[in-house]
Amino acid sequence: MELKEEFEEAEEELLGVIDESLAVEISEIDQRESFVNVTVFKSIRIIFVIIFFFILLLLLVGFLLSRSILIPLKKIEDVSVEVSKGNFDLKSNIDSDDEFGHLSFIFDSMLDDIKKKFELEKYSKKLEEKVKERTKELDEKNKELERTLEDFYTLRITMQEKLELDDIKKENEVIKKS
């Protein structure tokens, strides 16, 4: 029996050591698992913060880029609206070395050309009106001159007839006297 008791005691001792070993191992595993969970949580949080700041950066870049595109386009649109109303004295005045600056330069040159053509057309219409007015005046003067000429011819014919009558009267008197 003694051997059995010793064996049972050794078995209990061994089981105790194994239990302690397992408890230590389980504790270490729990600590590692806890550490891993904390590390994963921190990593996920860092990733979310990085993504958040990256999205903010993209929004800022997008906003600035859209402003650099939309402001010049809006300026050209506003000038176009005013030009369509007949105001040719505006300029877009976009002073940049990119496509919008080039477009603005071409647009402003085009406005200058349109303004010159519009002023030429306006001047041409005034000139046409003056020509019509002068032509009308000349027509009236010509008609007046024609009436004067007709009056002159009528007067001439009348005078000629009177002279002829006077001549006939004189001849008749000469004939009567003879």
pLDDT attached to residue 46: 94
pLDDT attached to residue 52: 96
Q: Are 109 and 93 in contact (CB under 8 A)?
A: no
DSSP 90-137: -------SSHHHHHHHHHHHHHHHHHHHHHHHHHHHHHHHHHHHHHHH
In 3D, which of 81, 82, 117, 109 has the Cα closest to residue 93?
109
pLDDT attached to residue 172: 79
**Contacts (Cβ under 8 Å, ≥6 apart) of 108:** 91, 92, 93
Each residue of 60-98: pLDDT tens digit?
999 998 888 888 888 888 988 988 888 888 888 888 888
pLDDT attached to residue 90: 84
pLDDT band at 178 (very low <50, low <70, confident <90, very high): low
For residue 169, is pLDDT > 90?
A: no
For residue 2, is pLDDT > 90?
A: no
Q: What is the DSSP letter of 85?
A: T
